A and B are shown apart, each in its own frame.
Chain A
């Protein structure tokens, strides 16, 4: 009986160990992916507030520490938080991109309006000259 119990416990532990090893690899790969994505922000945009990038960076580091301390559950939550932060940074980049587009288009509209006014004025001058000649 004792042998049976020991065997079952051993099997359970072995199964649990193999599951835990699989999860560890997944967590590490998530951390790696977030690190890569975060590093891309640093070169991608200067529009994002540094403190927000730093937060993500800090949380990834925290997740790493937590992982090394053998706290997988807490690591998952911190990773989820860091992942949402990265998502937020992406949203900020998109917002900034569209905002920039708006500013560029506004500038373009202003320039086009100015050119239109200029054309209008030149046209009026030409018409006045035509009228002057026709009056002669």
Chain B
């Protein structure tokens, strides 16, 4: 049957009008064959290339034999096969490129995964650090609050022993340092706050320690002198003042009989604090001139001193002086004796 068909085809082509097929058209098929070779057709589409060459040769043969129409058909088929070979080769080239890209993607994905793992690890680490830091900050805050509370207690303790009287500088410094510690706490500077709080504690403790002895001494003296009949007691900083009225008649220099118990009691108190210096001040009266008052005050103070010395108190402890007319704080308190007990100890020399 095929022979019959070929026979019919040959007859048809032979009877068909001969179309002119220029050489340059055949050359176009040759050029396409060369292009297909360059694109790698021999490697990627050898069968198709074989067909392209076959049809090109057929076209050449038919052209030589003067069968232009057949030559044209074979040329066209050769070109189609060459173009097919080019397309297959390009597809293969793309496939090769795809393989390279896929391997690059795999490589990049591996790197990406590593970074992801590392990042996850680092984020966890950072969260842990932040958590620890927050705990540490909480602890610091708590510690700063404790320190400030302790400092406040120490300052109050110093105040309780009248540090304002005995060591006002240390107490003031402690208070100022405490305020600075509070400010730093508000600003979140916990470490600085703790340091300042500790400094305030040290200053308050120093003020406390230095004041405590004098405070106890003063308290003891006050307790005792307050029992002296008719005595008015005052304490200013580190002195205790005992005011005695009616020791002398208004212009006299002889101790009145009623005053002896009070002076004896005072001597008893002074004997208990043998190292403390004492100042005796005599005050005059309005009925006398200033000059007379000075003299009167001196005599009366000296008389009291002598009496106290007669009761066994060392004369070296005393200092006597006259104040003159006794006007104090706007109140006229004339004709009186003021015995000032100093809370600092006498030096041996």
Do A and B assemble together?
Answer: yes
Interface size class of A (residues with CB under 8 A): 35 or more
Do B98 and A109 have beta carbons less than 8 Å apart?
A: no
Query: Interface segment, B108-116, B206-214, B250-258?
Result: B108-116
Beyond A95-B94, A129-B126, whether A72 also contacts B12 by CB under 8 A is yes
Do A71 and B12 have beta carbons less than 8 Å apart?
A: yes
Beyond A99-B94, A120-B115, A133-B130, whether A84 also contacts B77 by CB under 8 A is yes
Q: Closest CB of chain A to B204's CB: distance in Å?
A: 31
Do B1 and A19 have beta carbons less than 8 Å apart?
A: yes
Q: Closest CB of chain B to A20's CB: distance in Å?
A: 8
In the complex, whether B129 has a CB less than 8 A from a CB of chain A is yes
In the complex, whether A65 has a CB less than 8 A from a CB of chain B is no
Beyond A23-B5, A95-B94, A98-B94, whether A109 also contacts B83 by CB under 8 A is no
Known: A108-B105, A119-B115, A136-B133. 19 other contacts (CB 8 A): A71-B8, A73-B12, A73-B13, A78-B73, A85-B80, A88-B81, A98-B98, A99-B91, A101-B94, A105-B105, A112-B105, A112-B108, A116-B111, A116-B112, A116-B115, A119-B116, A119-B119, A120-B115, A122-B119
> Which residues on B sit within 8 Å (CB–CB) of A77?
9, 13, 70, 73
> Which residues on A sit within 8 Å (CB–CB) of B109?
112
Do B105 and A98 have beta carbons less than 8 Å apart?
A: no
In the complex, whether B104 has a CB less than 8 A from a CB of chain A is yes
In the complex, whether A106 has a CB less than 8 A from a CB of chain B is yes
Q: Closest CB of chain A to B188's CB: distance in Å?
A: 14
Interface of B: prevailing SS: helix
Do A109 and B94 have beta carbons less than 8 Å apart?
A: no
In the complex, whether A115 has a CB less than 8 A from a CB of chain B is yes
The interface on chain B, measured as residues whose beta carbon lies within 8 A of the other chain's beta carbons, has a size of 47
Do B6 and A123 have beta carbons less than 8 Å apart?
A: no
Beyond A23-B5, A77-B9, A134-B129, whether A95 also contacts B87 by CB under 8 A is yes
Chain A CB within 10 A, most for which of B12, B80, B95, B111: B80
Q: Closest CB of chain B to A46's CB: distance in Å?
A: 17
- CB closest chain-A residue, reference B101: A105
> Which residues on A sit within 8 Å (CB–CB) of B102?
105
Complex CA–CA separation, A4 to B84 (angstroms) = 55
Considering only residues 30-84 of chain A, those with a C-beta below 8 Å from chain B are 71-74, 76-78, 80-81, 84
> Which residues on B sit within 8 Å (CB–CB) of A129?
126
Do A73 and B10 have beta carbons less than 8 Å apart?
A: yes
Chain B CB within 10 A, most for which of A74, A78, A129, A133: A74
Beyond A74-B9, A81-B77, A99-B94, whether A123 also contacts B118 by CB under 8 A is yes
Do B5 and A109 have beta carbons less than 8 Å apart?
A: no
Do B84 and A87 have beta carbons less than 8 Å apart?
A: yes
Q: Closest CB of chain A to B67's CB: distance in Å?
A: 12
> Which residues on B sit within 8 Å (CB–CB) of A22?
1
Do A123 and B9 have beta carbons less than 8 Å apart?
A: no
> Which residues on B sit within 8 Å (CB–CB) of A71?
8, 12, 16
> Which residues on B sit within 8 Å (CB–CB) of A116?
108, 111-112, 115
Complex CA–CA separation, A99 to B77 (angstroms) = 26
> Which residues on A sit within 8 Å (CB–CB) of B310?
none
- Picked from A73, A88, A106, A120, the residue with its CB within 8 Å of the CB of B101 is A106
In the complex, whether B123 has a CB less than 8 A from a CB of chain A is yes
Q: Closest CB of chain A to B99's CB: distance in Å?
A: 10
In the complex, whether B122 has a CB less than 8 A from a CB of chain A is yes
> Which residues on B sit within 8 Å (CB–CB) of A76?
5, 9
